[in-house]
Amino acid sequence: MSEHLPILIVVVPLSAALVVPLLGRRSSTAAHAVTLATLAATLVAASVALTRVLRTADGVWQYELGGWAPPWGIEYVLDPLSGGMSVLVASLALAAAIYAGPYLRTSGPDRIGLFDSLYLLLVAGLLGIVATGDLFNLYVFLEISSIAAYALLATGGDRAAVATFRYLLVGTVAASCYLLGIGYLYALTGTLNMTDLSARLAAADQPTATAVGVGLIVIGLAIKAAVFPFHGWLPDAYTYAPPPVTGFVAAVMTKVSAYALYRVLYFVLGAEPAAASALVFLGWAGVAAIVAGSWLALAQSDVRRMLAYSSVGQMGYIIFGFSLGSPIAIVGALFHVLNHALMKGCLFLVTGGIRWRTGLSSVAGFAGVGRRLPLSATAFAVAAVSMVGLPPTAGFFSKWYLLLGAFEAEAWLGVAALVGSSWLSAIYFFRVLERLFLGADESRPAPERRDLPFGMLAPALVLALVVLLLGLFHQPVVTHLLERALPPTVS
């Protein structure tokens, strides 16, 4: 059994997605229990697989699907990079699913089975993107996760349907670009396997065609990762979606696309001049994203939309780090993938919970909410401090490595953008925190203190605690995982 782990982490949620809606007709409680059990099993499988990968000397676990040897068959590759990503995806999926329990019970128990089925499909798709070693297979999983995400995001209401339709159009254009790009590379090399393609592309010696293919792939994935200026779909889609979905999607979905971008540009096309040019372009896009995302977040009066724009800026941190290309900068970017997933997940879960409990989501509406939901507000505060990048939280240390990388590369504009974005995010986050904890109207009687139910509170608190602890104790994660996830051309 354990030798099939790389495919099991995809297949287990995929098959559960088929069972859960049938079960949901009988009992929504049973359907959700099965979902949680499946996600827990997936997390265990991903963790076991990662430990096994980290124990091996070369740190690569190649799995031939159906016994067909690559490059004919589809290959699944778990290395420290994809293994780490799959653990991240699986753990946030579990956290958001636990949170979804109380939320779903109050807002439509008859739909739990369908919701969970789509959710499991989304998780399976994201895990597939991470684990696959085949470019076309990656496209399929990209679309599985996207279609499931469209359906889930649209459950947020009528405005969500409009926002999701736009996201669907943009997302499909992105996927088509990616597919077309693969077509170019396939025409040049006759293979879709990542490792094989990387070896054959140099021999093909067709710089123009390669450049077109790489350009299309990069644009496609950059749209999916909401890299500025391709971020237009994101704010509306995140704002109107139901809280458990935003919590999960905002935390990992753009990050998984950024992972795909990193995988393709460094591991598959590492030696190509076209990839180097793409990275230069992405570097500028990243700097612009950092500035624009923070600036736009400042202008928002709805907390959810503010968080969405802050995501645009934070994706800029990650893309900027990748583009610098030095070990320290890439470690910073990868660490920020992890940190941003944890803290943005926490922030969206709490914000959604506050709206669920009080109906409020505007910055002004948060006044005094900290006294009604003190523990949730505390989790929000920890994650917000980490978003600003203040010690001792994890967000500070990823920013530190990114800054160090920017100094090494003498990317002064990037340094300025990182510092300016910290200032701006300090303003927009402390504006919320001040309302949250101090905004209470003293003249009125204090509203009753009633925090979120345990199932919704616990995931947010755990994420906040991890953000806090990962700050000071991140050394094992960096040395055993992130530094081994550097591409061969860099380390």
408 binds another protein (CB under 8 A): yes
Residue from the set 35, 91, 117, 164 that interacts with another protein by CB under 8 A: 164
Binding mask 426-465 for another protein (x = CB under 8 A): xx--x---x--xx-x-x-----------------------
User: Omega into 488 within 30° of 0, i.e. cis?
Assistant: no
Q: Which of 293, 304, 216 is nearest to 261 (CA)?
A: 216
Residue from the set 229, 273, 392, 447 that interacts with another protein by CB under 8 A: 392
Q: SS in 3 state form for 270-319?
A: CCCHHHHHHHHHHHHHHHHHHHHHHHHHHCCCEHHHHHHHHHHHHHHHHH
Reduced to 3 states (helix: H, G, I; strand: E, B; else coil), residue 362 is strand
The residue among 149 and 292 lying less far from another protein, judged by its C-beta, is: 149
The residue among 95 and 338 lying less far from another protein, judged by its C-beta, is: 338
Distance CA 217, CA 364 (A): 42
Reduced to 3 states (helix: H, G, I; strand: E, B; else coil), residue 326 is coil
145 binds another protein (CB under 8 A): no
The residue among 18 and 472 lying less far from another protein, judged by its C-beta, is: 472
Tell the smallest beta-carbon distance from residue 454 to another protein (Å).
19
176 binds another protein (CB under 8 A): yes
154 binds another protein (CB under 8 A): yes
The residue among 158 and 448 lying less far from another protein, judged by its C-beta, is: 158
162 binds another protein (CB under 8 A): yes
Q: Specify the residue for token string 């992890």.
A: 338
Distance CA 207, CA 211 (A): 6
Contact call for residues 213 and 277 (beta carbons, < 8 A): no
Contact call for residues 468 and 382 (beta carbons, < 8 A): yes
2 binds another protein (CB under 8 A): no
User: By CB under 8 A, how many residues form the interface with another protein?
Assistant: 61
Q: Which of 287, 170, 159, 298 is nearest to 225 (CA)?
A: 170
Show the tokens assigned to 319. 């893309």
Alpha-carbon distances of 296 from 48, 232, 238, 430, rounded to whole Å:
41, 12, 15, 16
Residue from the set 89, 168, 185, 369 that interacts with another protein by CB under 8 A: 168
Residue from the set 87, 275, 482, 485 that interacts with another protein by CB under 8 A: 482
394-408 and 412-438 helices, crossing angle to 10°: 160
Tell the smallest beta-carbon distance from residue 480 to another protein (Å).
11
Q: Specify the residue for token string 């499931």.
A: 148
The residue among 204 and 426 lying less far from another protein, judged by its C-beta, is: 426
328 binds another protein (CB under 8 A): yes
Q: Which residues contact 136 (CB under 8 A, 6 or more apart)?
A: 182, 192
Residue from the set 31, 49, 124, 179 that interacts with another protein by CB under 8 A: 179
Q: Specify the residue for token string 């507000």.
A: 377
295 binds another protein (CB under 8 A): no
The residue among 224 and 474 lying less far from another protein, judged by its C-beta, is: 474
Q: Interface with another protein by CB under 8 A: which residues?
A: 136, 139-140, 143, 146-147, 150-151, 154, 158-159, 161-162, 164-165, 168-169, 172-173, 175-176, 179-180, 183, 186-187, 328, 331, 385, 388, 390-392, 396-397, 400-401, 403-404, 407-408, 415, 419, 422-423, 426-427, 430, 434, 437-438, 440, 442, 472-475, 478-479, 482-483
